Amino acid sequence: MAIRNVRYDTDEVLRKRSREIEEIDNKIRELALDMIDTMYKYDGVGLAAPQVGILKRIIVIDPGTGPRVLINPVITKKSGSQTGEEGCLSSPNVFGNVDRPKTVTVEYFDIDGKKQTIKAEDLEAVILCHEIDHLDGILFLDKAYDVYKLSDEEIEAAKREAEELERKEQEKAKKNKKCKRK
């Protein structure tokens, strides 16, 4: 397993259409594992193969429930709508609002070549739409509005703030547990 180099938004490879995967061989399995490592390394919730320079239809996602590999994913149903802030590992520090469906149904092949169907909603639906767009050379910035960019210092400050909040919540949870024990 290895961390792959992430391509950034001026890179032409991000604008090309990725090809279907015809055979899930060891090379594809290795790519999938590397993509999962790379996604976690940069605190991402999803990554598409073109973002590591490979024009093949494979994405990895983790909406907080563990990693999932989707090969040749196709959105077969969309419904509702939601708007949320998105970012992308290929556009560091840039964020913007994007309108997406509320729920999507996606057909794909898993890493064992088994055909699967997933019905996703909320954040998971957003991630799937965002990553599948990458396979067609579409970036979230093509669809985003109210776009803004943070400096590295602002990103660090936001991270520290989130960590502090999490620490406080954990402390609170501990205290609650103690109270209940009495």
Q: Which is nearer to Ni ion, 72 or 90 (CB)?
A: 90
Q: Which is nearer to Ni ion, 88 or 128 (CB)?
A: 88
CB of 19 to Ni ion, least distance (A): 19
The 10 Å Cβ neighbour count of residue 27 is: 11
CB of 22 to Ni ion, least distance (A): 25
Which positions are catalytic? 131
Q: Which is nearer to Ni ion, 49 or 88 (CB)?
A: 88
CB of 179 to Ni ion, least distance (A): 43
Residue 48, C-beta contacts closer than 8 angstroms, at least 6 positions apart: 18, 58, 59, 131, 132, 134, 135
Q: Which is nearer to Ni ion, 54 or 88 (CB)?
A: 88
Binding residues vs Ni ion (CB under 5 A): 88
Instruction: Determine the Cα–Cα distance for residues 43 and 54; give it in Å rounded to an integer.
Output: 20
Instruction: Determine the Cα–Cα distance for residues 150 and 6; give it in Å rounded to an integer.
Output: 19
Amino acid, res. 174: K
Instruction: Determine the Cα–Cα distance for residues 171 and 160; give it in Å rounded to an integer.
Output: 16
Closest residue to Ni ion using C-beta atoms: 88
CB of 67 to Ni ion, least distance (A): 16
Q: Give yes or no for a contact between 29 and 71, defined as CB atoms under 8 angstroms apart.
A: no
